[in-house]
């Protein structure tokens, strides 16, 4: 009989993980349970279920701006929470696109990240929003930028005994700007209106300088075109300091493609992914700029 | 990405506000489907699959599995009679017999106390294989030097004249006139090729079988569309008389052709015999994709059509290659239909059409809803638009010039009586042009396309009995199988109408080979056409008895008696029908009739002898016509296609049940939109990669646009009961072609591969731009 | 693993292997076969039930995850007349011809009940996007849900006395 722990406190959860680092962590289970059912993942000897761990779910504004999102926060909460839509619009865009309502009831932001799929919908928006992940273990806590956490398909930088507890989003701001005009967006390319796995996706956050004539800060991230969701610094470099004009946005979207390493698979050929990720990013930039104005 | 804009669906008042008879039990969740059934002592069955496309079984050891905890039976081919079966060609066995020819072929079956124990035992079976080169390409498999997938093919029994060769299990032709002469005098010739991917019928209910063998006989509850054919299959493969096999279907969770054959019934029955306990087998969704044959045929098609200067079609050659997969299944019949679909609803005097039905190393194809219809219509109607362009006519005008009219003859010489193809096209165009809908989105291209077609109603035997009880209520016992469409559960309404009683007083006994007369089952849109005719004939006999008895009591002629409102009435005189029924029963002459009326005779086909390989579909007898119009928006940057609106216009003869007919067409259209845009199996080395519903993508409620169903007034009554025609299949045929033509209207580019996935549309637009 | 939960208002305590899904609990332990297994993968919606009022795919939720929660299945959905009396939504589905084979219907009932109360057609289509139906093309389903929702809101607007 395998052990199943349903902790109510983080300390309890970390103690379980310290004792049984091989335990299978189940947040919503919408990725991991189907994998178990289909035999893509072995039945675990120990389980750690997070659904009673109230402190791990929830969205809280940060002192000084930004949001702290508990790792067990559901996608439905991201979709609906009134603080996500204005402050982290790209994330709300992505949340509304994931699966169907029944998926979003249980799927969590932490589960989406830890699953490590290159096509995860929340990865690119969180990268574009500058997310940091908080990883706790019985021995202590560490933080790292999301781009360092995502290592490859199905691989994340989660050490034995560690639990992803929260994702922190910094306030969208340009240095020294007290009232930044920021906007973000996520655009996914797929063949159906719902229940779709991204063929490619792109997210952008844009902060306009006072007056709106130039882009003061920008982050750009891509989905389903490389072994992980990833930032596109070449695109960001073209945007920062430039005017939010079509030619600039075109050039940035084109430059982003230089960061891709798409593969052919049963969903789409690499050439298609690389072509449409540019389109997705171009559209995300347009919407982000529009939202920033 | 732009959101699909959805305009409001006009709510319609249902014609019959009460809804179908099994509606309430289904809405409440109380309806039991096969996988919901359980018997005391029931065991759980699991299967070992080959898991490789083509391999010789070197050794098979089930010893450890037989010894495992909870295991009650393990069976392989050596445990069942050495019998080959198959719908058109007897080319297969229940379990792998030396060679596995597709990944889903069943090697062994296990029955155990729990599903987990059965799973564990499957894992203990040791099978050693020598892999053989798989046949992955149907064209290569046709080559003279190709290795035959079935070395013993000559010894297999076949249901038609010999036209086969090694990997071509049926070479079917359709010949009319003098095609060489037709081409010799042509003003212009257009030649085009198209291809389609394999798709799946995909009922939401997976296959399930519960078998209970006791005292030399077996009762099998199963998810079949064809209970009597399933019974015959069990009897053949297990060496039983049909009288020892009873097949029962509770509610069937959809079929779409995927449950249109004998599948897993014998495996469960044999396990139950071996274990001495009831056994239930339920396929997982992943197994559902690879195990049961009856995928939709991938087809490669080349059409060459000769035009006259006046914009009429002179002649056509076509070559169709149907990829049948590892076994023939219904492939030869599908090839017959495909050759008819290659002609379409057009007047063409000179024809030479041929189809090959080719063995390859993958899950077999079969008679999926309107077999070959959507594939051929999609290709042919794009070809028809290309012909129109070559003739410098718009697609509507070109079709009006070439669609069949009264007195024209079909490909085998069948004389057509007042066909309604043009009526369907004109109505679809009118409704589509009149409709508004959302304004185009900036950057998206909009277009409208049309596809016209024909489909047959097959006359088949079907039996029914009607018994009236002493209180004037009645029971209809019908051979019909309801796949979910409602065609069978609607039969009591016909009987009630004839007997002059309310439908609530007519019980239906069906879907039980132990209780009902024979019927072919839910295939070929035949239930209303044939089972409806039988139910009416049986009811007519009982009604005639009622009228005769009433006439005697009332002292009038039987012809003066009207049965209505539970009474037999003649002028001012009336007798409750219950009184007549009670008197008949008391007199030992119960009011009952069992009939299996002769199917209507097929129209004469004086030219049929020129074509070869045909057994069932020499023509579309009693043809129905339809036209689908689609308006689409195409995002040229991503190749994404959004269907904005569909108009589906059908001639279903007289409408017996409007919501039911509409529902068949609406569901067919949505299925066809899936075939058009999102559904397609991707294979690698003979293995399907798309065995999850996230990858084999049906249209969702958010994808399907409003569908206008137009049922046009027939010009001739249908030849089915009360002038009706079948409608189960036609709805799925034309929408894919209409969408293709709408994409071409929007972009100027035709698509040559189905489904028209975003990356294919994108690549076609890119290639066209590069070429220009 | 011991799980205590409420199913259709009744408290239940069951001892289960840890990998048991909520769907297995409902169908195999409680005999509630209204929720169907169509894919065992969270992709078809035939097993949709409500967990504290929100829709979930019971096939990919561990039974343990429903511990302490209230589960509603189609067997718990009925009209004011109690079990056996159809819920107005169920009645609307039947009357609009929205049911064919019926295998997806229980899931559709649950997903529709969980939809936004003021949903328009487009919102209803999105709310049902996880419930695959091969038979109907969704049109009559959407019409039925719209008609029920309109009716429902009309009654709410008029208040309980109406």
Which pLDDT band holds residue B548 (cuts at 50, 70, 90)? very high
Instruction: Specify if C31 maps to a domain.
Output: yes
Residue of B nearest to A186 (CA): B1
DSSP string, B701-749: TTT---EEEEEPPPSS--SSGGGB---TTGGGTSHHHHHHHHHHHHHS-
**Chain C residues whose beta carbon lies within 8 Å of the beta carbon of residue B5:** 122
pLDDT at A75: 98
Better-scored residue on pLDDT, B746 or B716: B746
d(CA B201, CA B671): 9
- Name which of B416-420, B456-460, B555-559, B659-663 the model is least confident about: B456-460
C62 and C40 co-located in one domain: yes
* DSSP tag of B416: P
Query: Per residue in B471-491, pLDDT tens?
Result: 999 999 999 999 998 888 889
Q: Distances from the Cα of B46 to the Cαs of B40, B49, B112, B280, C24, in angstroms?
A: 19, 10, 8, 9, 17
C68 contacts chain A (CB < 8 A): yes
Burial B511-542 (b: 16+ CB within 10 A, else e): bbbeebbebbbbbbbbbbbbbbbbbbbbbbbb
CATH code at C53? 3.10.20.30
CB contact under 8 A, A34 and C42: yes
Same domain, C64 and C105: no
Interface of B with C in 671-690 (CB under 8 A): 671
Number of CB atoms found within 10 A of residue A61's CB = 12
Asked if residue C116 is part of any domain, the answer here is yes
Phi, psi of B116 (to 5 degrees): -65, -40
First to last CA, chain B: 28
- Contact (CB<8Å) B667/C137: yes
| Residue numbers in A near C51 (CB within 8 A) | 105-106
Distance (Å, rounded) from C-alpha B236 to C-alpha B242?
Answer: 8
State the DSSP string of B612-642: -S-SS-SS-SS-EEEEEEEEEEEETTTTEEE
The SS3 call for residue B285 is: helix
Residues B464 and B457: their CA atoms lie apart, in Å, by 19
Q: Peptide bond preceding B755: is omega within 30 degrees of 0, i.e. cis?
A: yes
In a domain, C81, yes or no: no
User: B416: closest CA among B603, B205, B606, B222?
Assistant: B603
Q: Does A269 touch chain B (CB under 8 A)?
A: yes
Q: From the candidates B27, B115, B225, B727, which should be mutated to test the interface with C, based on the most C CB atoms within 10 A?
A: B27
Write out B646-677 in H/E/C secondary structure: EEEEECCECCCCHHHHHHHHHHHHHHHHHHHH
pLDDT of B559 higher than 70: yes
Do C144 and C106 belong to one domain?
yes
Specify the CATH number for the domain of residue C97: 1.10.150.120
Contact A189, A276 (CB under 8 A): yes
3-state secondary structure of B197: coil
Q: Which residues of A touch B762 (CB under 8 A)?
A: 272, 275-276
Q: Which is nearest to C26 in space by CA: C54, C62, C53, C1?
A: C62
CA distance B2 to chain A (A): 9
Quick one: C111 and C60 in the same domain? no
Decide: helix, strand or coil at residue B169. strand
CB contact under 8 A, B682 and A199: no
Comparing A281 with B160, the larger pLDDT belongs to A281
Residue C161: is its pLDDT beyond 60?
A: no
Q: Which chains touch C (3 or more CB pairs under 8 A)?
A: A, B
Q: Within 13 Å of residue B136, how many CA atoms lie on the same side as its CB?
A: 12
Segments of B27-176 assigned E as strands: 43-49, 55-61, 71-75, 99-100, 106-112, 126-131, 168-176
Among the ranges given (B184-198, B586-600, B752-766, C113-127), the one the predictor scored with the smallest mean pLDDT = C113-127
The answer to whether residues B475 and B504 touch, using CB atoms and an 8 Å cutoff, is no
- B378 Cβ partners below 8 Å, 6+ apart? B194, B196, B451, B675, B676, B736, B737, B740, B754
Looking at the structure, do residues C38 and C72 belong to the same domain, yes or no?
Answer: yes
The pLDDT, as a whole number, for residue A174 is 57
**Residue B320 β-bridge partners:** B301, B355
Question: Could you give the CA distance from residue B320 to residue B301 in angstroms, rounded to a whole number?
Answer: 5
How close is the nearest chain C Cα to the Cα of A193, in Å? Answer: 8
pLDDT, position A87: 85
Report chain A residues whose CB lies below 8 A from the CB of C68. Answer: 52
Please state the three-class secondary structure of chain A as a single string: CCEEECCCCHHHHHHHHHHCCCCEEECCCCCHHHHHHCCCCCCCCEEEECCCCHHHCCEEECCCCCEEEECCCEHHHHHHCCCHHHHCHHHHHHHHHCCCHHHHHHCEHHHHHHHCCCCCCCHHHHHHCCCEEEEEECCEEEEEEHHHHEEECCEECCCCCCEEEEEEECCCCCCCCCCCEEEEEEEEECCCCCCCCCCEEEEEEEEECCCCCCEEEEEEEEECCCCCCEECHHHHHHHCCCCCCHHHHHHHHHHHHHHCCCCCCCCCCHHHHHHHHHHHHHHHHHHHHHHHC
Give me the pLDDT at residue B437, please. Answer: 64
Task: Count other C-beta atoms under 10 Å from residue A25's C-beta.
Answer: 24
C55, C76, C97 — which closes off a domain? C76
CA-CA distance, B591 to B495, in Å (whole number)?
Answer: 14
- C7 with C67, same domain: the answer is yes
Do β-strands A140-145 and A150-152 pair in parallel, antiparallel, or remain unpaired?
A: unpaired
Domains of chain C: total: 2
- pTM for the model stands at 0.96
How does pLDDT run across B358-373, given as a tens digit for each residue?
999 999 999 999 999 9
Q: Using CA atoms, how far apart are residues C125 and B120, in angstroms rounded to an integer? A: 41
Per-residue pLDDT tens listing for chain A (293 residues): 458 999 999 999 999 999 999 999 999 999 999 999 999 999 999 999 999 999 999 999 998 889 999 999 999 999 999 999 888 999 999 999 999 999 999 999 999 999 999 999 999 999 999 999 999 999 999 999 999 999 999 999 999 999 999 999 999 775 566 667 999 999 999 999 999 999 999 999 999 999 999 999 999 999 999 999 999 999 999 999 999 999 999 999 999 999 999 999 999 999 999 999 999 999 999 999 999 99
**Three-class SS state of B22:** coil
Look at residues B298, B129, B114 and name the one whose alpha carbon lies nearest to residue B198: B298
Is residue C83 domain-resident? no
pLDDT interval class at B10 (50, 70, 90): very low
Closest Cβ–Cβ partner in B6, B20, B204 for C125: B6
Residue B436 is predicted with a pLDDT of: 67
- Indicate if C115 and C141 belong to the same structural domain: yes
Q: Are C112 and C65 found together in one domain? A: no
Q: Does C71 touch chain B (CB under 8 A)?
A: no
Residue B223 touches chain A, beta carbons under 8 Å: no
Final residue of a structural domain among C13, C41, C76: C76
Tell me, what's the ipTM?
A: 0.96
| B566-583 tens-digit pLDDT | 999 999 999 999 999 999
3-state DSSP assignment of residue B380: helix
- The whole-angstrom distance between residue B18's C-alpha and the CA centroid of its chain comes to 28
Q: With beta carbons less than 8 A apart as the criterion, state whether C55 and C44 touch.
A: no
Residue B172, strand partner residues: B355
Per-residue model confidence as pLDDT tens digits over A189-200: 999 999 999 999
Do residues C99 and C150 both lie within one domain?
A: yes
Q: In this structure, is residue C24 part of a structural domain?
A: yes
Q: For residue B362, give the nearest of B100, B48, B97 by alpha carbon.
A: B100
Distance from C-alpha of A17 to C-alpha of A2, rounded to nearest angstrom: 14
Query: How far is residue B564's CA from residue B553's CA, in Å, rounded to a whole number?
Result: 17
Examine the domain organization and report whether C57 and C11 are in the same domain. Answer: yes
User: Residue A266 and residue B684: Cβ atoms within 8 Å?
Assistant: yes
Do residue C72 and residue C106 come from a single domain? no
Give the residue among B300, B440, B484 at the shortest CA–CA distance from B379. Answer: B300
Average pLDDT value for chain B: 94
Q: Which residues pair with A207 in a beta bridge?
A: A182, A217
Cα–Cα distance, B119 to B716 (Å, whole number) = 57
In a domain, C65, yes or no: yes
Single out the residue in C24, C51, C76 at which a domain terminates.
C76
Chain B residues in contact with C138 by the CB 8 A cut-off are 666, 670, 701, 704
CB nearest C143 (choices: B11, B204, B206): B11
Rounded distance between C-alpha atoms, residue C119 and residue C121, angstroms: 7
Residue B703 to residue A192, Cβ atoms within 8 A: yes
| Binding partners of A (≥3 Cβ pairs within 8 A) | B, C
Residue C12 lies in a domain: yes
Contact A193 B697 (CB under 8 A): no
| One domain for residues C16 and C66 | yes
What pLDDT is attached to residue C160?
54
- Does residue C82 lie in a domain region? no
pLDDT of residue B719: 79
- On whether the CB atoms of residues B374 and B334 are closer than 8 A, the answer is no
Predicted confidence at residue B19, as pLDDT, reads: 80
Give, as one character, the DSSP assignment of residue C28: I
Q: Which residues neighbour B428 within 8 Å (Cβ) at sequence distance 6 or greater?
A: B450, B627, B628, B629, B647, B648, B649, B710
**Range of C141's domain?**
88-157
- Residue ranges in B391-420 assigned as alpha helix (H): 395-402
pLDDT for B13 beyond 50 = no
B234 contacts B183 by C-beta, under 8 angstroms: no
Specify the pLDDT at position A176: 60
């Amino acid at each position: 009989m395998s052990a199943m722990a349903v902790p109510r406190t983080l300390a309890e959860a970390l103690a379980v993980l310290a004792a049984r680092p091989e335990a299978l962590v189940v947040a919503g289970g919408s990725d991991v349970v189907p994998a178990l059912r289909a035999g893509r993942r072995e039945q675990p000897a120990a389980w750690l279920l997070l659904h009673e761990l109230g402190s791990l779910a929830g969205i809280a504004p940060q002192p000084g701006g930004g949001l702290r999102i508990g790792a067990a926060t559901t996608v439905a909460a991201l979709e609906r929470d009134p603080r996500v839509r204005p402050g982290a619009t790209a994330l709300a865009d992505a949340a509304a696109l994931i699966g169907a309502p029944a998926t979003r009831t249980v799927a969590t932001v932490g589960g989406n990240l830890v699953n490590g799929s290159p096509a995860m919908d929340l990865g690119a928006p969180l990268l574009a929003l500058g997310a940091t992940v908080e990883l706790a273990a019985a021995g202590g806590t560490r933080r790292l930028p999301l781009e360092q956490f995502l290592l490859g398909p199905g691989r994340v930088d989660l050490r034995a005994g560690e639990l992803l507890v929260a994702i922190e989003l910094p306030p969208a701001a340009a240095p020294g700007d007290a009232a930044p005009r920021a906007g973000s967006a996520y655009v996914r390319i797929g063949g159906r209106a719902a229940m779709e796995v991204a063929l490619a996706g792109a997210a952008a956050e844009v902060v306009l300088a006072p007056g709106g004539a130039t882009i003061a800060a920008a982050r750009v991230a891509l989905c389903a075109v490389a072994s992980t969701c990833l930032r596109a610094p070449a695109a960001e470099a073209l945007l920062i300091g430039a005017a939010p004009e079509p030619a600039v946005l075109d050039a940035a979207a084109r430059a982003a493609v230089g960061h891709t390493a798409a593969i052919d698979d049963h969903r789409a050929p690499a050439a298609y992914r690389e072509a449409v990720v540019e389109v997705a990013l171009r559209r995300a930039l347009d919407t982000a700029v529009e939202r920033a104005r | 990405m732009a959101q699909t804009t959805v305009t409001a669906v006009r709510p319609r008042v249902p014609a019959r506000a009460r809804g179908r008879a099994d509606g309430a039990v289904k809405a409440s969740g109380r309806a039991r489907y096969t996988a919901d059934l359980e018997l005391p002592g029931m065991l759980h069955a699991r299967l070992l699959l080959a898991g490789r496309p083509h391999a010789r079984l070197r050794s098979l050891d089930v010893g450890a599995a037989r010894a495992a905890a909870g295991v009650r039976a393990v069976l392989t081919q050596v445990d069942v009679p050495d019998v080959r079966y198959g719908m058109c060609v007897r080319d297969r066995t229940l379990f792998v017999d030396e060679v596995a020819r597709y990944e889903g072929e069943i090697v062994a079956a296990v029955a155990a106390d729990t599903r987990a124990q059965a799973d564990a035992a499957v894992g203990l079976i040791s099978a050693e294989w020598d892999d053989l080169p798989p046949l992955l390409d149907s064209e290569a498999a046709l080559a003279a030097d190709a290795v035959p997938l079935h070395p013993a093919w000559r010894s297999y029994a076949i249901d038609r004249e010999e036209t086969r060769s090694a990997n071509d299990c049926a070479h079917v032709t359709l010949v009319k006139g003098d095609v060489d002469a037709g081409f010799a005098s042509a003003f212009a010739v257009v030649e085009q090729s198209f291809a389609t991917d394999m798709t799946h019928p995909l009922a939401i209910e997976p296959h399930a079988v519960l078998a209970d063998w006791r005292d030399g006989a077996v009762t099998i509850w199963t998810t079949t569309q064809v209970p009597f054919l399933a019974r015959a299959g069990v009897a053949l493969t297990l060496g039983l008389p049909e009288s020892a096999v009873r097949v029962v279907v509770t509610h069937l969770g959809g079929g779409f052709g995927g449950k249109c054959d004998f599948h897993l019934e014998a495996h469960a029955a044999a396990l139950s015999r071996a274990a001495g306990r009831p056994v239930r087998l339920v396929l997982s969704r992943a197994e559902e994709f690879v195990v049961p044959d009856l995928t939709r045929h991938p087809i490669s098609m080349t059409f060459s059509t000769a035009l006259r200067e006046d914009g009429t079609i002179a002649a056509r050659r076509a070559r169709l290659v149907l990829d049948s997969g590892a076994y023939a299944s219904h492939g030869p019949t599908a090839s017959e239909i495909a050759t008819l679909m290659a002609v379409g609803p057009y007047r063409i005097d000179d024809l030479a059409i041929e189809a090959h039905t080719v063995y390859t190393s993958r899950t077999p194809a079969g008679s999926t809803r309107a077999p070959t219809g959507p594939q051929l219509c999609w290709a042919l109607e794009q070809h028809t638009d290309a012909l129109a362009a070559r003739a410098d006519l718009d697609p509507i005008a070109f079709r009006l010039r070439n669609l069949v009219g009264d007195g024209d003859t079909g490909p085998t010489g069948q004389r057509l009586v007042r066909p309604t193809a043009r009526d369907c096209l004109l109505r679809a165009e009118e409704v589509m042009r009149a409709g508004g809908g959302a304004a185009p989105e900036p950057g998206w291209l909009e277009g409208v396309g049309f596809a016209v077609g024909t489909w047959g109603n097959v006359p088949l035997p079907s039996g029914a009995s009607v018994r009236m009880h002493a209180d004037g209520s009645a029971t209809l016992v019908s051979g019909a199988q309801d796949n979910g469409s409602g065609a069978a559960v609607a039969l009591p309404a016909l009987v009630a109408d004839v007997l002059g009683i309310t439908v609530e007083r007519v019980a239906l006994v069906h879907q039980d080979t132990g209780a009902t007369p024979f019927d072919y089952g839910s295939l070929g849109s035949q239930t209303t056409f044939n089972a409806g005719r039988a139910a009416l004939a049986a009811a007519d006999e009982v009604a005639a008895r009622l009228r005769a008895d009433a006439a005697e009591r009332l002292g009038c002629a039987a012809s003066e008696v009207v049965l209505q409102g539970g009474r037999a009435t003649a002028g001012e005189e009336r007798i409750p029908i219950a009184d007549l029924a009670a008197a008949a029963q008391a007199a030992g002459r119960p009011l009952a009739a069992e009939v299996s009326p002769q199917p209507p005779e097929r129209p004469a086909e004086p030219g049929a002898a020129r074509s070869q390989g045909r057994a069932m579909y020499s023509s579309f007898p009693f043809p129905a016509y339809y036209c689908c119009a689609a308006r689409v928006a195409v995002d040229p940057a991503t190749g994404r296609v959004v269907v904005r609106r569909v108009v589906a216009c059908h001639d279903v003869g007289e409408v017996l049940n409007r919501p039911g007919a509409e529902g068949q067409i609406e569901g067919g259209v949505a299925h066809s939109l899936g075939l058009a845009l999102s559904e397609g199996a991707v294979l690698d080395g003979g293995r399907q990669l798309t065995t999850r519903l996230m990858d084999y993508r049906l249209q969702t409620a958010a994808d399907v646009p409003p569908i206008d169903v137009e049922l046009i007034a027939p010009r001739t009554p249908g030849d089915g009961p009360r002038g009706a025609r079948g409608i189960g299949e036609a709805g799925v045929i034309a929408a894919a072609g209409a969408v293709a033509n709408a994409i071409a209207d929007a972009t100027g580019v035709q698509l040559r591969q189905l489904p028209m996935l975003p990356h294919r549309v994108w690549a076609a637009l890119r290639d066209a731009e590069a070429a220009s | 693993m011991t799980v205590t939960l409420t199913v259709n208002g009744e408290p239940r305590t069951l001892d289960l292997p840890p990998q048991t899904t909520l769907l297995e609990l409902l169908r195999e332990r409680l005999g509630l076969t209204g929720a169907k297994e169509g894919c065992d993968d969270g992709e078809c919606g035939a097993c949709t039930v409500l967990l504290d009022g929100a829709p979930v795919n019971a096939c990919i939720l561990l039974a343990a995850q429903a511990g302490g929660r209230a589960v509603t299945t189609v067997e718990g959905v009925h009209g004011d007349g109690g079990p056996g009396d159809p819920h107005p939504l169920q009645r609307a589905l039947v009357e609009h011809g929205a049911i064919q084979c019926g295998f997806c219907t229980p899931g559709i009932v649950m997903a529709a009940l969980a939809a936004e109360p003021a949903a328009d057609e487009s919102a209803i289509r999105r709310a049902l996007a996880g419930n695959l139906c091969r038979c109907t093309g969704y049109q009559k389903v959407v019409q039925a849900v719209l008609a029920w929702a309109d009716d429902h809101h009309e009654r709410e607007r008029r208040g309980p006395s109406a």
